[in-house]
Amino acid sequence: MSKFGLILNPTSGKGKGAILGPEFAAELSRLGVELLDLTGANYDEAMENGRRAIAEGAIDALAVAGGDGMMHLGINLCAGTHVPLALMPCGTGNDAAMALGIPIGKPVEAARLAVEMLKTPSVVDLGLGVTANRRFYFFNSASAGFDAIVNRRANRWKYPKGPSRYTLAMLYELMSFDSIKYRAKIDGKSRELDGMLCAVANGPSYGGGMLVAPEASVVDGLLDLFIVHKISKAELIKVFPKVFSGEHVSHPAVEIIRCEDVTLLSEGIPVYADGEPVGMLPMTVSIAPKSLKVLANPTHSVA
């Protein structure tokens, strides 16, 4: 009998995790999987529980239920180990699930896929980032710019709940925002950038379906550096909605560079990876090819 470590986030997806997570666990059990609950009282405790279970060889796979934040937790436990990662996507942002072909909000299908892939897990790339604060892996992206500043502002507010908090945070930050002066090194070549944001993408989207780098792939051994050069605030507001369809890539201020490593330097700019705070610039990011086993099929797309 296979044994899965299980970490649930009942608060994910505005409470969807409290319903779909247990349904996912129940289907795994029905399929003959033994479960070890590693959830813990908080994020740090769950990380410690997961580290211990992997180090002791107590589990054959790790399963997390939630959104991209839970995926971030999972990859930082499983990266570089023999333990594959399964995901039950039930968050407000499920970009990792979209890239991996995991059915969103469907616990029975997600559990069956995980068990089906256990004997032959897929192997995917990750980004490996280093800030002054920490070393971390990321699946979707590591972002440093206007979007990260908005994310930081929204996280400081308890109200309102849901997406409107991020919209209001964007409008609040936009009032005082100016372009950011970056010093960058891209595959060893130095550049000076004056832009609105820089994001290093491993997968095509982040932030709940923003297709920042539509051609990015988690199996191509490359990163996609997404740059929005300096534009007016009015133009930024005009361009922003196009990111959900990928049409923004034709804008003259948008540049995407395929690379293996990037260093970004600037003052006072936060960094968010998969929506989680990971420190401040400077940051160095490199591709970590074939560093994660996943119980999914990234060549299959979810409709």
CA distance 274 to 287: 15
Count of domains for the chain: 2
CA distance 197 to 182: 9
Q: Are residues 138 and 112 in the same domain?
A: no
- Where in the sequence is the domain holding 277, given as residue range(s)? 130-289
**Where a domain ends, among 90, 120, 150?**
120
Q: Are residues 166 and 278 in the same domain?
A: yes
290 token code pair? 């074939």
Question: Is residue 296 included in any domain, yes or no?
Answer: no
Full pLDDT tens readout for the chain, 303 residues: 899 999 998 888 778 888 899 999 999 999 999 999 999 999 999 999 999 999 999 999 999 999 999 999 999 999 999 999 999 999 888 999 999 999 999 999 999 999 999 999 999 999 999 998 899 999 999 999 988 888 788 777 777 765 566 678 777 888 888 899 999 999 999 999 999 999 999 999 988 888 999 999 999 999 999 999 999 999 988 988 898 899 999 999 999 999 999 999 999 999 999 989 999 999 999 999 999 999 999 864 443
Q: Are residues 174 and 44 in the same domain?
A: no
Question: Is residue 301 included in any domain, yes or no?
Answer: no
Question: Is residue 46 included in any domain, yes or no?
Answer: yes
CA dihedral 128, 47, 80, 225 (to 10 degrees): -20
**Where a domain ends, among 101, 120, 139?**
120
Does this model's pTM top 0.85?
yes
Residue linked to tokens 């029905």: 30
Q: What is the CATH number of the domain that holds 214?
A: 2.60.200.40
Q: What is the CATH number of the domain that holds 107?
A: 3.40.50.10330
pLDDT in tens, 202-238: 999 988 888 999 999 999 999 999 999 999 999 988 9
Q: Are residues 35 and 170 in the same domain?
A: no
**DSSP type of residue 243:** G
Closest CA to 195 of 270, 133, 266: 266
**Type of residue found at 51:** R
pLDDT in tens, 139-169: 999 999 988 888 788 777 777 765 566 678 7
